[in-house]
Amino acid sequence: MKVDVLENILSVNEKLAEENRDLFDKKKIFVINLMASPGAGKTSFILKTIAGIKDKFEVAVIEGDVASQVDAEKIKAHGIPSVQINTGGACHLEANMIKNALEHLDLDNVDVLVIENVGNLVCPADFKLGEDLKVLILSIPEGDDKPLKYPLMFAETDVLILNKIDLLELSDFDQDKVKDVTHKLNPDLRTFKLSCKSDEGVKEWVDWLISRIDEAI
C-alpha cells in the first residue's frame, strides 16, 4: 500500500528556524548569519561592523566553532555580549543550537544579533537559523574560483563581502570573474569590497546595513 509522505527532510530544522524567527520578530531583533571559510575574516568583520553600528543599535553575537572560546572572548573584550557555541564536531550551526544559545542573552536589550557560523563554505548553506540576512565573506587570498566550486553557498547568500582587498595587488584574484559567476548564480546578490585592515570600503557596507536594519525593525 502506498502512503503519501511529502515531508521535507530538513523539516525539523526548518520548524525550529521558524520558531527562532517568530521570537526575533516579537523582540524586534535583526539577525545576520555570517558565513565563510576559516580565516576569511569573519570575526574581524564582525568587530568592524559593530564599531560602525553600535551607536545606533545594541548588538549581541553568537559565535560558532568546533572548539575553544577564542572568538567569543575577542567580542567580549570589546564590551559586546557574546555566547560561544562549541559544536563538538558539527561543521555548521543549526536552529536548535541557536535556540539554546538565546537563553544566555538578554533579548529585550538586543537590536542586532550577529551569528558567526562555523568556518565552512559547504554546510551552513543548508541550515536555516531564523536569520534576516545571510552574509558570506570571500577573502582575496582564497582565490576567485570559489563561487564555481561552492555554488550553493554563493547562490543562497544575500550579501557577498570581498574581504582583504588590501591584498589584491599581491594576488591574481580576478574580480570580474567572481562578478560574472556570482551574478549568474544569484542575480539579486549585493557585493561589498572592503578591507578590515585598511578600513577601505567598510563605510559603504555599514551605511547599507544601517538602512537595511532601519527598514526591518
Partner 1 sequence: MHELGITENIVSIVLKHGEKEGAKKITKITLRIGELTQVVGDCIQFYFDQLSKDTIAENAELIIEYIPIRVRCADCGSEKEASNYDFTCPSCGAICTEFISGREFLVDDIEVE
Of the pair 123, 210, the CB lying nearest partner 1 is at 123
- 47 close to 78: Cβ distance less than 8 angstroms: yes
Q: Does 176 bind partner 1 (CB under 8 A)?
A: no
- 14 close to 169: Cβ distance less than 8 angstroms: no
Decide: residue 38, CB within 10 A, 0-12 exposed, 13-18 middle, 19+ buried: exposed
Q: Which stretch binds partner 1 (CB under 8 A): 29-37, 64-72, 106-114, 147-155?
A: 147-155
Q: Does 169 bind partner 1 (CB under 8 A)?
A: no
Q: Which stretch binds partner 1 (CB under 8 A): 66-74, 109-117, 120-128, 130-138?
A: 120-128
Size of interface with partner 1, in residues (CB under 8 A): 24
- 135 close to 161: Cβ distance less than 8 angstroms: yes
Q: Closest separation between CB of residue 126 and partner 1, Å?
A: 7
- When binding is defined by CB under 8 A, the residue of 66, 107, 155, 217 that contacts partner 1 is 155
Q: Which stretch binds partner 1 (CB under 8 A): 17-25, 34-42, 158-166, 177-185?
A: 177-185
Within 121-140, the residues that bind partner 1 by CB under 8 A are 122-123, 126
Q: Which stretch binds partner 1 (CB under 8 A): 7-15, 68-76, 106-114, 128-136?
A: 7-15
- Cα 78–Cα 81–Cα 85 angle in degrees, nearest 5: 110
Q: Are strands 133-139 and 30-36 parallel, antiparallel or unpaired?
A: parallel
Of the pair 6, 79, the CB lying nearest partner 1 is at 6
Kindly state the cell numbers that stand for 166.
588590501
Q: Report the C-alpha gap between 157 and 45 in whole angstroms.
A: 16
For the chain, the distance separating the N- and C-terminal CA atoms, rounded to the nearest angstrom, is: 50
Helix (H) or strand (E) holding 63: strand 59-65
- When binding is defined by CB under 8 A, the residue of 23, 105, 152, 217 that contacts partner 1 is 152
Binding mask 179-198 toward partner 1 (x if CB under 8 A, else -) reads ----xxx-xx----------
- Identify the residue whose cell numbers are 588590501: 166
